[in-house]
Amino acid sequence: MTADVATRSDQPGARILSTGFGVVMVAVAAVDAHGPAVVAVVLALVAVGAGLLFRVAATGAVLLTVVALAVSDSPPLVAALSGLSATAYLLLRHAAGTGVVTMTRTTLVAMLGFTVAGLAATAVRLDLPWLPLLAPPAVVVLYWLALTPHSSGAP
């Protein structure tokens, strides 16, 4: 399937599918929502609807869903499923009508792999209060390792 056939601007499939993922993202986040989280869920659902017209609203919907998850203190599985749906929502919504094919095998494997890695990280209980201090240097080192082969000074 070529990019022209898969994502023509007159083909509404990507918009409809992205909206479906957006609704699933918000619905999963609404499972344990109460109090202020319900307000964030309703606003996120409105933003998903607005995302049909404005791509920027899709990003707002995801951010409002994150707020709803944080306020409601949802379990990790709920957050993982909502995050997986949010990833598919943003990929499809921002690529709709641009001629870019986003749902490739590599993308799907990465989405599922990071979701499983996040769930595995929450399943392991480590009582090391200093462990979060290693995250920023670890990110810098990983970033440097990833960019080193692509720098102009590399052999």
Per-residue pLDDT of the chain (155 residues; tens, 9 = 90+): 444 444 445 456 778 888 999 999 999 999 988 899 999 999 999 999 999 888 899 999 999 999 999 999 889 999 999 999 999 999 988 887 777 777 889 889 999 999 999 899 888 887 888 888 998 999 999 999 988 887 776 45
Let me know: does 37 contact 72? Beta carbons within 8 Å. yes
CA atoms of 1 and 21, how far apart (whole Å):
22
For residue 74, CA distances in Å to 46, 87, 111, 138 come to: 21, 18, 20, 27
> For the whole prediction, is pTM greater than 0.85?
no
CA atoms of 72 and 114, how far apart (whole Å):
23
Helix H or strand E segment including 135: helix 135-147
Of 67, 57, 65, nearest to 28 by C-alpha is 65
What does the pLDDT read at residue 130?
85
CA atoms of 87 and 104, how far apart (whole Å):
13
Phi, psi of 151 (to 5 degrees): -80, 160
What does the pLDDT read at residue 13?
74
